[in-house]
């Protein structure tokens, strides 16, 4: 029944590319996406689809009521960029210094907008209501999903589906997981207060760099010696700042990093063990410390039935050659908040660009734009699959 719609989405490929490249040239950071939100809102204004702006911040929610009875299902796309200088050689590279779309959110937005446009001629044939959920601020905790939910973005919604253009996966492939898919993403900051002094007189100091160095090593023992090898966790120290001169022993050192886990019990174990390691290192050197731990996005856990629907829907989508379950990833995603509120699933749409080896969040990040109509198709196919199950 929806074969013609699939063809129509292929026909909107050039418009998807145009929108994606426009947004790519004018990126905006998380919680500052005012012009992007206006662009999205104006698109729905021209389509004549009712929408609401400023939902939980810069979020935009549009609704297309079908002509047949059915459930209300939300399809989500995020639209914030990252604080990265665009270093690729492309005519659509970012025009904003130090800001770029380095994760594919511009593509998510372009695909969802064009899906909305493609559905208008089929309005009377659509069962239920399609909710187009355009979310701001996915990249920075506390994220945009939670405030949008608190503002009522899911009111009346029965299920939620979302996809991420994924450059580790070939174009034509769809991947997801039946339950745990993305890890919880936390952050920490450790400040060590020692006693500085002359580089030639270490015995008169409390060397913050030495203590911090010991911590960088010992924190890795939490995962290797305190977590069941059959479970997963990551403790990463991302920055280490200390000292200002080559011949001065630093009195303070600051370590910042992230913790990734898939369940609360392991998360609590990591936090407790970190406190022990930090306290032990500082006490042994007669130093003091401050330890700040920020619980970020919870783990993204798909609902098994909806994950099955995604794979079955993808397998019946023109252009999709492979649809399968894969192992979870340790990255974080605030789509997890939607999964705590409603049934649904999140999945990868393959967007690997041949010969382009730069990963997500890299200054030269880019993706194969042929994935754009595929992501739009699979989102709608998931929508229909859910309707058919109810």
Q: Which residue ranges make up each domain of the chain? A: 3-181+299-389, 184-297
Residue list for the binding site:
103, 105, 139, 164, 361
Q: What is the pLDDT of residue 373?
A: 98
Whole-angstrom distance, CA of residue 70 vs CA of residue 389:
10
Known binding site for Mn(2+): residues?
Answer: 103, 105, 139, 164, 361
Catalytic residue among 106, 138, 175, 186: 138
Alpha-carbon distance of 24 to 86, in angstroms, equals 10
Q: Enter the pTM of the model.
A: 0.94
User: How is domain 184-297 classified at the CATH fold level?
Assistant: Alpha-Beta Plaits (3.30.70)
Q: Which position among 8, 28, 78, 80 bears the catalytic label?
A: 80
Tokens of 90: 């492309």
> Do residues 345 and 310 touch, judged by C-beta distance below 8 A?
yes
**CB burial readout 209-221, b (16+ within 10 A) else e:** bbbbbbbeebbee
> Does the annotation count 80 as an active-site position?
yes
Q: Which residues of the chain have pLDDT under 70?
A: none
* Cα-based distances in Å from 380 to 249, 258, 314: 61, 35, 10
Please name which of 14, 89, 29, 30 lies closest in space to residue 365, comparing C-alpha atoms: 89
Look at residue 390 in the predicted model and tell me its pLDDT. Answer: 87
CATH number for the domain whose boundaries are 3-181+299-389: 3.40.630.10
In three-state form (DSSP H/G/I as H, E/B as E, the rest C), the secondary structure along 135-176 is: ECCCCCCCCCHHHHHHCCCCCCCCEEEEEEEECCCCCCEEEE
Give residue 224's pLDDT: 95
């Amino acid at each position: 029944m929806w074969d013609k719609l699939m063809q129509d989405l292929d026909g909107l490929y050039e418009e998807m590319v145009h929108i994606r490249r426009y947004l790519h040239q004018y990126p905006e950071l998380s919680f500052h996406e005012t012009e992007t939100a206006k662009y999205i809102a104006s698109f729905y204004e021209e389509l004549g689809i009712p929408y609401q702006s400023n939902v939980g911040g810069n979020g935009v929610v549009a609704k297309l009521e079908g002509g047949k009875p059915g459930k209300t299902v939300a399809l989500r796309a995020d639209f914030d960029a990252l604080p990265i200088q665009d270093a690729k050689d492309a005519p659509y590279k970012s025009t904003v210094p130090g800001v770029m779309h380095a994760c594919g959110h511009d593509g998510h937005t372009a695909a969802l907008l064009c899906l909305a446009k493609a559905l208008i001629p089929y309005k009377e044939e659509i069962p239920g209501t399609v909710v187009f959920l355009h979310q701001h601020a996915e990249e920075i905790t506390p994220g945009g999903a939670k405030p949008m939910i608190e503002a009522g973005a899911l009111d009346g919604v029965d299920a939620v589906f979302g996809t991420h253009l994924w450059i580790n996966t070939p174009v034509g492939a769809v991947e997801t997981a039946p339950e745990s898919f993305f890890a919880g993403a936390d952050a920490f900051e450790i400040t060590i207060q020692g006693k500085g002094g002359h580089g030639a007189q270490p015995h008169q100091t409390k060397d913050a760099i030495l203590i911090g160095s010991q911590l960088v090593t010992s924190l890795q023992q939490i995962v290797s010696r305190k977590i069941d090898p059959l479970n997963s966790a990551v403790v990463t120290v991302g920055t280490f700042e200390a000292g200002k001169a080559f011949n001065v022993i630093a009195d303070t050192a600051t370590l910042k990093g992230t913790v990734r886990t898939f369940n609360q019990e392991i998360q609590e174990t990591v936090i407790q063990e970190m406190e022990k390691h930090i306290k032990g290192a500082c006490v042994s050197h007669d130093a003091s410390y401050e330890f700040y731990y920020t619980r970020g996005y919870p783990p993204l856990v798909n609902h098994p039935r909806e994950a099955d629907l995604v794979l079955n829907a993808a397998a019946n989508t023109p252009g999709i050659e492979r649809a399968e379950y894969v192992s979870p990833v340790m990255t974080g995603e605030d789509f997890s908040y939607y999964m705590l509120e409603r049934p649904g699933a999140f999945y990868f749409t393959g967007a690997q660009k041949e010969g382009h080896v730069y990963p997500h969040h890299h200054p030269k990040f880019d993706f194969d734009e042929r994935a754009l109509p595929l992501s739009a198709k699979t989102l709608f196919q998931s929508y229909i699959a859910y309707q058919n199950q109810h």
